[in-house]
Amino acid sequence: MFNDFLDNLAIENTGEISNRYGEVTASLNKEFRNSESKTANSLKVGSIGRWTAINGISDLDMLYIMPKGLWDKYKDGKQYQLLSDTKEAIKLRYPKTKISVDRLVVCVQYTNFHIEVQPVFEQDDNSFKYPDSYNGGQWKITKPREEIEAISELDIQTNKNLRRLCKMARAWKNKHGIGMGDY
Instruction: Give the predicted TM-score (pTM) of the model.
Output: 0.93
**62: pLDDT strictly greater than 80:** yes
- Beta strands per DSSP E along 30-183: 42-45, 59-65, 98-101, 106-109, 114-122, 128-132, 138-142
pLDDT of residue 114: 97
Percent of the chain predicted with pLDDT > 70: 98
The one-letter amino acid at 55: N
**77: pLDDT strictly greater than 80:** yes
Domains recognised in the chain with CATH numbers: 2-171 (3.30.460)
Average pLDDT value over all residues in the chain = 95
The string of pLDDT tens digits covering residues 7-23 is 999 999 999 999 999 99
Angle made by CA atoms 81, 127, 100, in degrees to the nearest 5: 30
pLDDT band at 183 (very low <50, low <70, confident <90, very high): low
Helix (H, G, I), strand (E, B) or coil at 168: helix
Radius of gyration of the chain (CA): 17
**169: pLDDT strictly greater than 80:** yes
Instruction: Report the candidate in 151, 119, 141, 122 with the shortest Cα–Cα distance to residue 46.
Output: 151
pLDDT of residue 179: 78
pLDDT of residue 182: 64
pLDDT of residue 2: 79
pLDDT band at 177 (very low <50, low <70, confident <90, very high): confident
